[in-house]
Structure formats: C-alpha cells, structure tokens
C-alpha cells in the first residue's frame, strides 16, 4: 500500500473544523483558521496591483516567502501531528516519498489545491499537478498567482530532502510552469534545488 | 450560544464552502507572515490593504451567512458575527456597540497569539485582520457601506497586554 490521497482527504475532512471554547482551532501542531479564499487572493492581488513596476518583484518575493515559510513550518507540524499519524502513517510504505504524498493529501484536505505528486527524483526534483486550487480564482492577467502551491511544494521537498528541520528551509524552490489562472487546463509545479 | 456552521465539501474540486462562499484552512504561520509582509510594505500602504481586504472578504461571508440563517436585527448580527469569529478559529471577543461604534475586548486571539508564538512580543499593534473583520461586522449589522467605520487597537496581547482592546468609530 502507498498513500491514497482521496482516502486521506475524505478521512481528514470529516474531522471537526470549528473553534473550541476559546475560539481557537488547535490542530496539526498549529493554530488553524478557516477563512474565505477571497481574503488570501484579494490580499495578494491588491498588493501586486499597488506596487510600482520596479517594486513588483519585491512584493512577489514577499508573497512567495510567506507561503514558503508557512509551508515549511506548517508542513513540519502536519507530518508530526496526531492527525497525520492516525490517518496517513498507516499507509506509508515508501518512506520519504509517501510522507510527501501524505503531506500533499493534507494540502488537498485543507482546501489549498486538489493536487498530487506526479514525479519524484528523490532529493533532486519533483513535479506536482493540480486540477483545482483556490489561487486560480485570482484575476491578474498574465500573473502566476499560485504562491501557496509553488512555495508550499518547495517547502515540503525541503522537509523531505533538505537538512533536518529547521535548517533545511530554502534548499529547494518551487516554480509554476502551468496555471489555470493563466489559461492552462491544470496547474503544474516543478521543484528543483536552488 | 452555538451557531450552526455547515461546511459543504465539493467531491469534484475538493473545495470547502459555507453558504456558497469558498473557504480554506490555513494556520497562524501564514496569518502572522502575511501580517508581517503587510507591515513591511509601508510604501504601498500594506497594512491598509490588509485591513480593507479583511473587511471586504469577511463582509461577503457575513452577508451570506446572515441571509442564509435569517439573522436580521443589528443586535443579532453583532452577536452572530462575534460567534462566527470564534467558529473560524480567530479567537474570543466581547462586543458592545451601536451605529456610532463600539468597543471590543479580545480575550483570545489567533492573530496575536500566533504572532507571539513565532516572533515573540511585538512593539506595535498587529491585529489588522481583526480591525478589518470588525469594520465588516459593524457595517453589515447597521446596513452601512464599506469603510463606514474606523477601527483601531488600544491594547494588544501581541504587545504583552492580558487582553486586546479595539475601538470602533463610525466615520
């Protein structure tokens, strides 16, 4: 057996998504929130739109870094969580590859992207394909907007094949090769060593 | 009070919706870093962008929820808005107010507590998201257009206070 994404997703979406008596949602070793996708998308769009042409790279790098650091630290929390141990670990038979597949299943269950690993060269390269992701709902013509998928993918690969946590951040970089928001049929993301 | 909060899961796209509004799970790492990014983008008014984005995105959800659940009076809307804030994992608040504005006490806060976990105590107010949320909540409760309320913090858990205090004033 290997990690079966849809089975993991179905098991995880049945977990209660609701703040506790303190209005907080501790889970996966982090504090979870559950917000409209429009919040994250509009923020990225408006920040990019507000930037002068010469400042746009700085803004895009900042958005990438937010998603990368989130993916790295949250990803670490996820793969060491009780939820991951209960649902994903029983399916893990192929070591780091399966941990990665499991991490992407959680990525999918959280609503980030209906995504999966299509190719892994261990410690070198990974290709991710997403049939749907919330960042595709952005409306900036010609802008690659899937910061969470590209940076999150790179960060997950950092966790799998970089130096032990927390020293491996930024070992790999994720790039968006195809994007639904760009007019492509699906999103495709490649992770390579920086 | 425990409000209903039904999440639908689309088996085709794997997306979550609440009364037709697409939703996503994130965590304090993303919220804190997004807040920090907004603060670093002073030259393009990043904090203003963050607050207004929170106001606009949360207004859409609040309106969808109030319509679907038939929450119509101003008092009920403030109360349910407060509950929704907790249901979404954002913290726990007490709200007093009318159409001139109000005062909000934050007893727990995803934004503030998340910030402290990552960066330690802050030297400035960081809960811009909640300021935007409250602007939306008050405007929705009193049937006002966006940007009808000026919202600002006067005490912050991120800065070491035991509770957060936020003032809402009609413009």
DSSP string, chain A: ----HHHHHHHHHTS--S--TTS-EEETTEEEEEEEHHHHHHHHHHHHHHS-GGGHHHHHHHHHHHHHHHHHHHHHHHHTSHHHHHHTGGG--SHHHHHHHHHHHHHHHTTSEEEEEEEEETTTEEEEEEEEEGGGG---TT----HHHHHHHHHHHHHHHSSSTTS-TTSEEEEEEE-GGGT-SSEEEEEEE-
Instruction: Quick: pLDDT tens for B6-46.
Output: 999 998 999 999 999 999 999 999 999 999 999 999 999 99
For residue A164, give Cα distances in angstroms to A10, A67, A99, A158, A170. Answer: 30, 20, 15, 9, 12
* pLDDT band (50, 70, 90) for residue A187: very high
A149 token code pair: 């998928």
CA distance B20 to B63: 11
- The pLDDT of residue B1 is 54
Work out how many CB contacts closer than 8 A connect A with B: 173
Best A7, A13, A38, A156 residue to mutate vs chain B (most B CBs within 10 Å): A38
Return the higher-pLDDT residue of B129 and A104. B129
> Which A residues, 19 through 78, put their C-beta within 8 Å of a C-beta on chain B?
19, 22-25, 28, 30-40, 42-43, 46-47, 50-52, 55, 59, 62-63, 65-67, 69-70, 73-74, 77
Which ipTM value was assigned to this complex? 0.97
Which among A24, A36, A50 has the least Cβ separation from residue B110?
A: A24
CA distance A135 to A140: 11
Class of domain B8-170: alpha beta
- The pLDDT of residue A1 is 63
Q: Which residues, including other chains, have CB under 8 Å from residue A12's CB and lie 6 or more apart?
A: A83, A87, A105, A106, A109
**Percent above pLDDT 90 for chain A:** 71
- The pLDDT of residue A15 is 67
A14 has pLDDT over 80? no
- What residues does each domain of chain B span? 8-170
CA distance A40 to A23: 21
B107 has pLDDT over 70? yes
* DSSP at B145: P
> Which A residues, 102 through 141, put their C-beta within 8 Å of a C-beta on chain B?
108-112, 114, 131-132, 134, 137
CA distance A59 to B39: 12
> B41: distance to nearest CA of chain A, Å?
8
- The pLDDT of residue B80 is 97
For chain A, which domains are there? 5-193 (3.30.1380.20)
A11 has pLDDT over 80? no
The beta strand positions in B28-170, using DSSP E, are 91-98, 101-109, 149-155, 164-170
Of A7-21, A29-43, A45-59, B130-144, where does mean pLDDT reach its minimum?
Answer: A7-21
* pLDDT band (50, 70, 90) for residue B122: very high
CA distance B39 to B127: 11
């Amino acid at each position: 057996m290997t990690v079966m994404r849809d089975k993991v997703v179905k098991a995880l979406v049945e977990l209660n998504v609701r703040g506790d008596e303190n209005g907080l949602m501790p889970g996966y070793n982090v504090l979870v929130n559950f917000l409209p996708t429009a919040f994250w998308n509009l923020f990225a769009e408006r920040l990019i739109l507000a930037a002068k042409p010469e400042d746009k790279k700085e803004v895009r790098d900042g958005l990438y870094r937010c998603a990368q650091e989130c993916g790295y630290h949250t990803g670490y929390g996820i793969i060491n969580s009780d939820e991951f141990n209960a649902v994903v670990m029983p399916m893990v038979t192929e070591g780091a590859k399966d941990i990665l597949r499991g991490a992407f299943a959680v990525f999918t269950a959280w609503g980030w992207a209906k995504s999966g690993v299509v190719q892994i060269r261990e410690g070198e390269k990974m290709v991710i394909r997403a049939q749907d992701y919330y960042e595709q709902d952005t409306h900036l013509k010609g802008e690659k907007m899937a910061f969470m998928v590209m940076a999150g993918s790179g960060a997950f690969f950092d966790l799998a094949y970089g130096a032990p946590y927390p020293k491996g951040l930024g070992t790999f970089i994720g790039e968006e090769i195809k994007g639904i928001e760009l007019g492509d049929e699906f999103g495709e993301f490649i992770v390579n060593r920086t | 009070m425990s409000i209903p909060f039904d999440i639908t899961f689309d088996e085709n796209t794997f997306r979550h919706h609440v009364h037709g509004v697409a939703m996503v799970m994130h965590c304090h790492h993303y919220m804190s870093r997004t807040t920090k990014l907004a603060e670093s983008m002073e030259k393009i008014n990043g904090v203003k962008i963050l607050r207004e984005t929170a106001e606009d995105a949360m207004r859409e959800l609040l309106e969808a929820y109030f319509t679907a659940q038939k929450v119509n009076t101003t008092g009920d809307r403030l109360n349910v808005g407060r509950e929704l804030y907790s249901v979404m994992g954002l913290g726990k608040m007490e709200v007093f107010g009318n159409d001139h504005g109000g005062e909000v006490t934050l007893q727990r806060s995803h934004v503030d507590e998340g910030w402290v976990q990552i960066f330690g105590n802050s030297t400035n107010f960081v809960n811009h998201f909640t300021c935007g949320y409250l602007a939306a909540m008050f405007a929705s409760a009193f049937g006002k257009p966006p940007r009808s309320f000026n919202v600002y913090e006067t005490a912050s858990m991120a800065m070491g206070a035991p509770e957060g205090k936020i003032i809402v004033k009609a413009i």
